[in-house]
Amino acid sequence: MAHGNMFGDLAETNAKQGFFQRIVALKKRLFEPSRCLPEIELDSKFTAPSLASNAVVVKGAFMNYGSLKVLEDFNMTVPKGAIYGLLGASGCGKTTLLECLNGRKGLSYGAISVLGQEMPGPRNETKIGYMPQATSLYADLTVRETLLFFGRLIGMKEGKIEERSKYLIELLMIPDPNQRLSDMSGGQQRRLSLAVALQHEPELLILDEPTVGMDSVLRQLIWDHFRSLTASGEVTIIITTHYIEEALKANLVGLMRGGCLMAEDDPKNLLKLHQLPRLEDVFLKFCVAQNQSQIAKSANSPRSAGKIKEGMTVKHHHLKALVLKNFQWLRKNWITTMIALLLPVVILSSFGLTFGHNPTDFVISVVNLEVEPKSCRLEPIHCKSEQLSCTFLNYLSNKQLLMTFYSSEFEAIQSVRSGRSYASIAINVNFSRALRSRAYDWFGSNSYDLEHSTISVFRDTTVKPMSLYLQRMLYQILQDFVNNFVESCGINKNVVKVPMTWDAIYEWMNTDFNDFAMPGVLTLSIFASAIIGTSLSMHSEQSETIMERLLVTGVNRTELILSYVMTNSVVLFFQTFFSMVIVFAVFDTTMKGSLILAAILTFLGGFAGVCYGMLISCITHSEVGVCLIGIGTTFTVFFASGTLWPVEAMHRLLKPLAPFFPLTMQTRSIRNILHKDWNFLRADVYVGFFTIVLWAALPLALCFILIRFKRV
């Protein structure tokens, strides 16, 4: 469309003034005078058009937030084909009125009709174009991507979206269609916001201060375009503004103050009727008259504004647009995406490298009173050896210990007390002879042989894992040493063996603690990453202004939740895949059962985290609250689900509750699959599947309940 044809002609506009002036007479005949209107005579010599010619009718509207009155006995009529300018100071109720017109808020009392349909009612998103006061767009999308996203939401064809986008970018002089919103100036962002409202060629445009931040040339260009749109009488535009000169360009103007409509007429007629040179003088005159008038109290007791329940119907084009937008965000923020994908890998790698391994290269203090350390000879163990103490210490050296030698047991013990070593080992004089005598005549051993064949250990028990490891290691080394010694003396080693036989199933298990803990850490890392990632991403989506614009286009929160379920499930799939590779290919965790079954169960745990993350974002709109709930949940589940320590060792009051935590039965099932090769038909496996599915379904159901009844 050429600009010459598109811009409205002022002479033609003047010829239409009589039509719009007749609206005043229509209002006087159809409605009782508003309690907000001061007693000022208006011109009533024009005949009224029919009701069918009205695009918007507001009658007796009250809007309260508790005791705060936002709209009071508000009456307004907007004919089809008109540009209606709503003039008033900030805080007078203009934005609230527009939210009632687009169906996002309900009145406390009164009636609203928009395009022949009572509001609130079924959505007219294809017939209404809305531009909120804030930009209300996604900062990471480019101009072209923004128009494509909102075009898809409204159900436009791809070809039509491209055609309209190209036209509007040229019309509104948006410089670079591939520029991100975050890199644009405030004025350019406002132009793009206006383009979104104009894109689907709606019958009714509701624009909240559309020209704020624009220069006079562009403002004039936009107003000329508005006139061209309304020239056919098929498009109606409602504009809020606090620019007086803009209000003069409207066909009708409503003067609004304190939630009341003080006057509604052709702006030129208002100037002529009140014989004032400027519209602000007219506005001031009405303000003074309003202050002086005694406004009668309504016989009704208006209720507080009710919340409008959203529908839960899922539309394919809404879901497609939202999911594609989410993946665009992941692509553009690839660093954040990579962090999200690799976070479980980093957690598992940190755990695998630092936890559950046997300690090495730690210091113990040694006192050998039998042989000087420098005099020790490396020789095979034999019955006649006089350096059995050296042989025993050689057994110790194979355990990668750092042995520091002292000349007295007192010095060695002091080194432990001062923290220089974890334990001291003292071997008495004549250790070899006493041990040999004890082996040959164990029943008749005297006190001297018993004392001098005993190794004294003094250890620091404040570091419990180290203390227990030392105890277990020294017992094992001493048992091996004594067994080999008595065999070299021709004695059956079973004579000195502890009278207990150990047999076991699943002997393929590694001896370190990682095999027990790794399945729990795997499920926890996926679960926690899903909670934090989902709750924070949904929190950013729930920016009040962006959400308002999405809901006006017909999107409901059910569709938003489903779009995030789909997007985060894809991310979760890759998180699970990378985590399984780290756990089983890199750290060689025991795996005797079905890897696929374990992977599915791990994925379901992450999905439960996604659902719980969405519930968190529904409960709180605070980023701090999201983080606190997410972190608190992670640590609680970490400690109470038997991840690192058996459930059987928990406090007696917590132990009965442990199976009901999200990951307890899931972790147990994965251990049974991997370590015992159990299949799905075993109760201890399928119960894990059942509980984690339940933990995914419950938060998801609560999300829908909160959406339906609480309007989060």
227-280 pLDDT, tens digit each? 888 888 889 999 987 777 778 888 999 888 888 888 888 888 888 888 888 888
Q: Give the pLDDT confidence score for residue 92 in this predicted structure.
A: 83
pLDDT at 605 exceeding the cut of 90? yes
pLDDT at 76 exceeding the cut of 60? yes
Please state whether the predicted TM-score (pTM) of the whole model is above 0.85.
Answer: no
Stretch 28-36: mean pLDDT: 43
518-528 pLDDT, tens digit each? 999 999 999 99
* Cα angle: 555, vertex 559, 562; to 5 degrees: 160
pLDDT at 28 exceeding the cut of 50? no
Q: Give the pLDDT confidence score for residue 609 in this predicted structure.
A: 94
pLDDT at 18 exceeding the cut of 70? no
Q: In sequence order, what are the residues at sequence separation of 6 or more whose Cβ sits closer than 8 angstroms to the Cβ of residue 109?
A: 60, 61, 62, 300, 302, 303
Stretch 300-322: mean pLDDT: 69
Q: Give the pLDDT confidence score for residue 19 in this predicted structure.
A: 46
314-326 pLDDT, tens digit each? 889 999 999 999 9
Q: Give the pLDDT confidence score for residue 48 in this predicted structure.
A: 37
Q: Give the pLDDT confidence score for residue 63 in this predicted structure.
A: 84
Nearest to 146 by CA among 183, 102, 110: 183
Average pLDDT over the chain reads 83
Q: Give the pLDDT confidence score for residue 52 in this predicted structure.
A: 56
pLDDT at 437 exceeding the cut of 70? yes
pLDDT at 298 exceeding the cut of 50? no
Q: Give the pLDDT confidence score for residue 412 in this predicted structure.
A: 95
pLDDT at 461 exceeding the cut of 50? yes
Share of the chain above pLDDT 90, in %: 38
pLDDT at 408 exceeding the cut of 90? yes
pLDDT at 648 exceeding the cut of 80? yes
Q: Give the pLDDT confidence score for residue 255 in this predicted structure.
A: 87
| Upstream peptide bond of 202 is cis (omega within 30 degrees of 0) | no
- Residue 318 corresponds to which tokens in the numbers above? 């809404």
Q: Give the pLDDT confidence score for residue 511 in this predicted structure.
A: 54
Whole-angstrom Cα Rg for the chain = 40
Query: From CA 483, how far away is CA 186, in angstroms rounded?
Result: 84
Q: In sequence order, what are the residues at sequence separation of 6 or more whose Cβ sits closer than 8 angstroms to the Cβ of residue 291?
A: none
Element (DSSP H or E) covering residue 60: strand 54-65
33-52 pLDDT, tens digit each? 444 554 444 333 323 344 45
pLDDT grade for 89, boundaries at 50, 70 and 90:
confident
90-102 pLDDT, tens digit each? 778 888 888 888 8
Q: In sequence order, what are the residues at sequence separation of 6 or more whose Cβ sits closer than 8 angstroms to the Cβ of residue 110?
A: 58, 59, 60, 61, 62, 71, 74
pLDDT grade for 188, boundaries at 50, 70 and 90:
confident
547-591 pLDDT, tens digit each? 778 888 888 888 888 899 999 999 999 999 999 999 999 998 888
Stretch 492-497: mean pLDDT: 82
- 624 half-sphere exposure, CB direction, 13 A CA radius: 0
Q: Give the pLDDT confidence score for residue 624 in this predicted structure.
A: 87
591-602 pLDDT, tens digit each? 889 999 999 999
Q: Give the pLDDT confidence score for residue 642 in this predicted structure.
A: 87
Stretch 635-656: mean pLDDT: 89
Stretch 415-436: mean pLDDT: 93
Stretch 451-458: mean pLDDT: 93
pLDDT at 438 exceeding the cut of 90? no
Stretch 400-425: mean pLDDT: 93
- Residue 237 corresponds to which tokens in the numbers above? 């535009």
Stretch 8-20: mean pLDDT: 40
Q: Give the pLDDT confidence score for residue 301 in this predicted structure.
A: 44
User: Position of tokens 């009164």?
Assistant: 110
Q: How many distinct helices (H) and strands (E) make up the chain?
A: 25, 14
| 177-181, 532-536, 656-660: segment of lowest average pLDDT | 532-536
Q: Give the pLDDT confidence score for residue 164 in this predicted structure.
A: 93
Are residues 100 and 106 in contact, defined by beta-carbon separation less than 8 angstroms?
A: yes
Highest mean pLDDT among 178-182, 225-229, 413-417: 413-417
User: Environment class of residue 16 by beta-carbon count within 10 Å: exposed (0-12), middle (13-18) or buried (19+)?
Assistant: middle
Distance of CA 431 to the CA centre of its chain: 67
pLDDT at 300 exceeding the cut of 50? no
